[in-house]
Structure 1
Amino acid sequence: MLEVRNLNAFYGESHILHGIDLDLAAGESIALLGRNGAGKSTCLKSLLNADPRTEGSIRFAETPLGAQPAFARSRMGMALVPEDRRIFPMLTVAQNIEMGAFAARDGRKPYTLDEVVDLLPMVGPLLSRLGFQLSGGQQQMVAIARGLIARPRLLMLDEPAEGLAPVIVDELADTINAIRKAEGRSLIVTEQNIDFARETTDRLYLLDVGSVVFSGSWGDFDRNGDLVDRYLVL
């Protein structure tokens, strides 16, 4: 599904990602872990060509992406739910979600609003509210719904559990796992919450200062007991 080789990313003259290699199979879910500033968000934005200048090779669904712009990658089936959610405050929840349908790939109908609500029941009671009337947890669910409506093959979630109450985090984990099962969708989840990442993904990559310092299964991660102290504890 996704093959990344020697990915480097830059903001101006600042070199943020250093030679990232990453693989994701169809229907698989992986976590990108790391402290703030490790390069997790930059990695997702680089995959979508959504800001950083990049070098290296990215193949999606066996197609080299080259210099294709973000909108073209979206039309191929890639979707990013950003960390800051970016809900339009003066649009209703229904309108916010329906905006995402414009990214549906050629020849593929987006979900209807009712189908999205079936996958994310928590957004159903919110459809008539305006964006500025939502709590943080509600905004996160709406942002995910907006990313999902175009039926992406790859959904990328940037720090989805950040700032949410524990009970909402548990509900969100259940929601993400349900999304995974829908149409065999692939997921990349960036997180600092290890328990949440473990619950929603199959394996992980650990980033530090823009480089991959570990990749493997959760069992491999647990057997390397010093990784948390070295790369995740603030």
Structure 2
Amino acid sequence: MDIIAKISSGIAGWLTFEDMKGNVRHHDESVLYPPITEIASRNGYEVEREFPLPRKTKQRGSSKEVDFLLLNERKKVAVLLEIKFKKYAKTMMGGISMDALKIRDITFSDINAGIGRKKLKMPDLTGAWKVRKAVMIVWREGEIVKLMNQKEQKPIRRQFMKLLSFMFEDPKTVSAKQFATAFIPGARVATVGKAMGQIRWASTVTHKKYWVAAFCKVDEWSNLS
């Protein structure tokens, strides 16, 4: 199991734990940072929060940042991870597409420059390293469907529908009705663990699940704009 899958599963378990204490409903993405940090660090990753991105030509204001940079020197793996928390019945700032576009084109040189800028005690990346990029989102019940239809670009919508199809026994024959009922309490669906992403859920006291999805970089992200 790779680190993105471990974080997805770990956050789903953490959400279940927190909901049983009555702590989740008013949270935002910042509450996810400590458990993500602990999962990554316990799996041999150095963790840097709010990692700076290079300034673009004619860019105004402060430089943009990535929520997480994770580095595992032994495995030569770097992970750029953006986090989103869709609050129930609330409008979410930005979108998955925007975060995917932000991290899509980050290079070794960009990461090394950020390491130098923050004077971090982290290794420079070379051609021997692999860079993983992902956007993780947490939401409750079926709110993600509305978000997809209203805010997300086509590549992300297509990636989501592909991930969603793997929740069913025969992904190739999933009907529109099954898609529509996937997030209804009591629906019989499987967790998803694929190279293109993850889907997990968290149990709650009301049986209205919290969901965790990780959108990993795929070739179709080249069509984001």
- The TM-score range, normalised by the shorter chain, is 0.3 to 0.5
Q: Compute the TM-score of the two structures, normalised by the length of structure 1.
A: 0.32
Higher relative contact order (CA 8 A, sep 6+): 1
Comparing both structures, which one devotes a greater share of its residues to strand?
Answer: 1
Q: Compute the TM-score of the two structures, normalised by the length of structure 2.
A: 0.33
